[in-house]
Amino acid sequence: MNIPGFFPLALGLIIFSFLITSIVVVPFINFLYKHKLTRRKEAPKNGTVPLFDKLHDKKAGTPVGGGVLIIIMVSLLFCILFPLASKMGVFIHSAFRLDWELVIIFFTFISFGLIGLSDDLLKIFGKPTKGLIGSWFGLRRREKFILQWIFAFIIGFMIYKFLGVHFIYLPIIGKTFDMGVGYIPFSAFVIVSFSNAFNITDGLDGLASGLLMICLIAFGVIAASSLDTPLSLFIALWLGVLIAFLYFNVWPARIFLGDSGALSFGAMLAVIGLLTGSIIALLVIGGIFVIEVVSSAVQMFGWKYLHKPIFPLAPIHHTFLAIGWEEPKIVMRAWLAGIILAMFGLWLATI
């Protein structure tokens, strides 16, 4: 499989998955409305209303569950179409053991989605608990982190043990570093970091989903150039389903990803970077996600050690919202920045 030869197949899969998802997404949204699987108001009923709640509680009542739809659609379409691809003459090639690569892809996609789904259901139906600032909804941060690290270490171990990946490549200087068994905690750190970075970024209508679309286009090219058929087909199907979802997720959103999608998609994006050996490119292509999580870390540092915030609100997209930028303007400019970073990351991946 080469890039020119793969383009017609990839484009066909993108269009097909887009059309199928477009048919089911509206009934799915209606299903979420019917069963009241919607975002709830989080502002305290008494006392001072936090700035975050002032800016976001107007989104209450919007269905949450787009991530579940995307995970189900991509998984089903892949399970149906991938076996047919080889029978239709598509040459299936991978640098790894095919069975273990598929196990790693879908274990990541589904396991992190289940963590997020648990969090979503608790946010919708669970009782709030008092936090340092206002009330806390969903899984506790510590519980969520522990589950993420457990799954991330399992994934890192499988990549190291069964795919034989234990090195990182640094472009420009052209050096490859063998990390040995240290690759397991390293890959786990990358997975957990991107999972949370995506989750943090998913705060404005269409922001995280649009950035993910840009990232998938870039990594689709990288996966095709590395002759990884299963990963390329997975990305193509994911991209088509995502575009159909994004139509309803742009401002004003009719459906949100929820943590089920945010945690899963961030982790899966990290795994794609690991499988393609493009860690540095991942940091650049997903640069907006990196900036978002760093801004949140800086804000936490300010509260903990300086006892005051560094930004009006974190992550950084909330700062722009707090100073008066309109939500669509923030999202569009983030997409533009994401496109430039994706081009730079693609360049790094090809040198």
pLDDT tens digit sequence for 291-316? 999 999 999 999 899 989 999 998 99
pLDDT at 50: 60
Per mean pLDDT, which range of 123-132, 251-260, 270-279 is the poorest? Answer: 123-132
pTM over 0.85: yes
- Average pLDDT, stretch 101-105? 97
pLDDT at 89: 72
Sequence-separated (6 or more) residues with CB below 8 Å from residue 218: 281, 285, 342, 343, 345, 346
Contact 242, 70 (CB under 8 A): yes
Q: What percent of the chain has pLDDT over 90?
A: 73
pLDDT at 85: 83
pLDDT at 53: 58
pLDDT at 133: 45
- Average pLDDT, stretch 6-22? 92
How big, in percent rounded to 5, are the helix, strand and coil portions of the chain?
70, 5, 25
pLDDT at 55 over 80: no
- Average pLDDT, stretch 332-340? 98
pLDDT at 265 over 50: yes
pLDDT band at 134 (very low <50, low <70, confident <90, very high): very low
Structure-model confidence comparison of residues 169 and 28, the more confident one: 28
Task: Give helix 258-275 / helix 66-87 axis angle, nearest 10°.
Answer: 40
Q: What is the mean pLDDT of the chain?
A: 90
pLDDT at 227 over 80: yes
**107-111, 117-121, 129-133, 176-180: range with highest mean pLDDT:** 107-111
pLDDT at 56: 56
Structure-model confidence comparison of residues 1 and 106, the more confident one: 106
pLDDT at 45: 57
Distance CA 244, CA 21 (A): 6
Q: Residue 52 belongs to what H/E stretch?
A: helix 51-56
pLDDT at 129 over 70: no
pLDDT at 253: 95
pLDDT at 21: 98
pLDDT band at 207 (very low <50, low <70, confident <90, very high): very high
pLDDT band at 46 (very low <50, low <70, confident <90, very high): low
- Average pLDDT, stretch 87-92? 77
pLDDT at 32: 96
Q: How many residues make up the chain in this entry?
A: 351
Per mean pLDDT, which range of 55-64, 108-117, 244-253, 288-297 is the poorest? Answer: 55-64
Residue of 193, 185, 215, 187 whose CA lies nearest to 292: 193
- Average pLDDT, stretch 206-217? 98
Per mean pLDDT, which range of 169-173, 239-243, 299-303 is the poorest? Answer: 169-173
pLDDT at 59: 83
Residue of 201, 214, 169 whose CA lies nearest to 338: 214
pLDDT band at 132 (very low <50, low <70, confident <90, very high): very low
- Average pLDDT, stretch 205-220? 97
8-state DSSP, 206? T
- Average pLDDT, stretch 276-282? 94
Residue of 178, 347, 207, 232 whose CA lies nearest to 289: 207
pLDDT at 70: 98
Contact 112, 263 (CB under 8 A): yes
Between the alpha carbon of residue 221 and those of residues 138, 229, 346, the distances in Å are 37, 11, 8
- Average pLDDT, stretch 41-48? 59
